[in-house]
Structure 1
Amino acid sequence: MFIIALAFLIGIVSGLRTMTAPAAVSWAARLGILPLQGTPLAFLGYAATPYIFTLLAIGELINDKLPKTPSRKVPPQFIARVISGAFAGAAVGAARQSLTFGLVAGAVGAVAGTLGGAAVRTKLGEVFGKDLPAALLEDAVAIILAIVVVTRLG
């Protein structure tokens, strides 16, 4: 049951920042924290994979601050977050022979993170009077939550 909660939480990370969760689980696999050998997601632990996902995550962190970046709630962005959450959740679940449950929990977490993150960021933007501080705070929450989740996997 604990592993499903972790899959849900990594899904929330995907809802906040699409590529942060795959980067985190890939680093966990590479560092031996997330045992994915013998699973369909073993490639997450390959030498280059964490670097690729990290570059994508950094690109997203930068892109998120640009004025023309569309809302996370429009279909392409929303779908990407759910797929990312399902993928990261599946990796968390696969380490404990619960790939399917992890996939579902990660997808549900991504929906919660997407909608909840958008609502909180809007409110914080109103409080701060501009969006950038709220966006940076959201970045920090996503990164910290990802670290907390992957350190609980071992």
Structure 2
Amino acid sequence: MAMAVMAWIVAIPLLGAATGMRTFTPMAVICWFAYTGYLPVDGWASWTAKLATAVVFTVLAVSELVADKMPRIPDRTSPGPLMARILLGGLAGGIVAASLNGSEFEGVILGVGGALVGAFGGYLIRREIVMRSGSKDWPVAVAEDLVTVGFAVLALGIVTG
């Protein structure tokens, strides 16, 4: 019972927050957990358990990790990138909720809320660290990449027990 509550109030918003920081990384982690059988998915979410899906999201995630370091990439809080984060945060929340046999709608809401917190919070924290430390942006961005992967793996670890 305690793990189910943790999954709802901690793991799904944390997965959403990771999506707010990096759009595709949490979906890649979800797909690998589903493909390896650790995250039980069926019905509408069964597409996440296919190897091709895991590979596609992994390629997208790695591409995003590289592109994030480029100066011409728009901020995550710009309308396009923010909408992608909101949509994928909601999708991630719905998939995890479905795997827990819970309300997909509630999972979507928690995932979207987490994505908004991750997008704006991650942006502000990263900007503040760069400004206060006087360092370049890319080392902070790499640290944020690691935090994002850690959040996604931790969230799914909570979900899968």
Give the alignment's TM-score, normalised by structure 2.
Answer: 0.91
Q: How many residues are matched?
A: 153
Q: CA deviation at 1:47?
A: 2.0
> What is residue 145 of structure 2 aligned with on the other side?
139
Helix, strand or coil: the match of 1:153? helix
Where in structure 2 are the equivalents of 1:3-152 lying within 5 Å? 3-5=7-9, 6-37=11-42, 39-98=43-102, 99-129=104-134, 130-152=136-158
RMSD over aligned CA atoms reads: 1.0
Distance in 2 between the 1:45 and 1:25 partners?
9
Contact in 1 for aligned 2:90/2:111 (Cα 8 Å): yes
What do the CA deviations read for 1:20-60 (whole angstroms, capped 9, x no partner)? Answer: 111111111111111112x2111000121111100000000
Give the % identical residues.
Answer: 33
Contact 1:12 1:111 in 2 (8 A): yes
How far, CA to CA, are the matches of 1:43 and 1:103 in structure 2? 17
> Within 2, Cα distance between the matches of 1:148 and 1:3?
11
Deviation at 1:152, TM superposition (A): 1.8
Contact 2:6 / 2:158 at 8 angstroms: preserved in 1?
Answer: no
Contact 2:91 2:111 in 1 (8 A): yes
Amino acid at match of 1:28: F
Q: 4+ residue stretches of structure 1 with deviation over 4 A? A: none
Letter in 1 for 2:16: G
Contact 2:7/2:155 (CA < 8 Å) preserved in 1?
no
Shift of 1:15: 0.3
List alignment gaps of at least 5 residues for structure 1.
none
| Structure 1 counterpart SS, 2:69 | coil
User: Which protein has the bigger helix share?
Assistant: 2
CA–CA distance in 2 between the matches of 1:122 and 1:140?
17
Equivalent position amino acid for 2:13 in 1: F
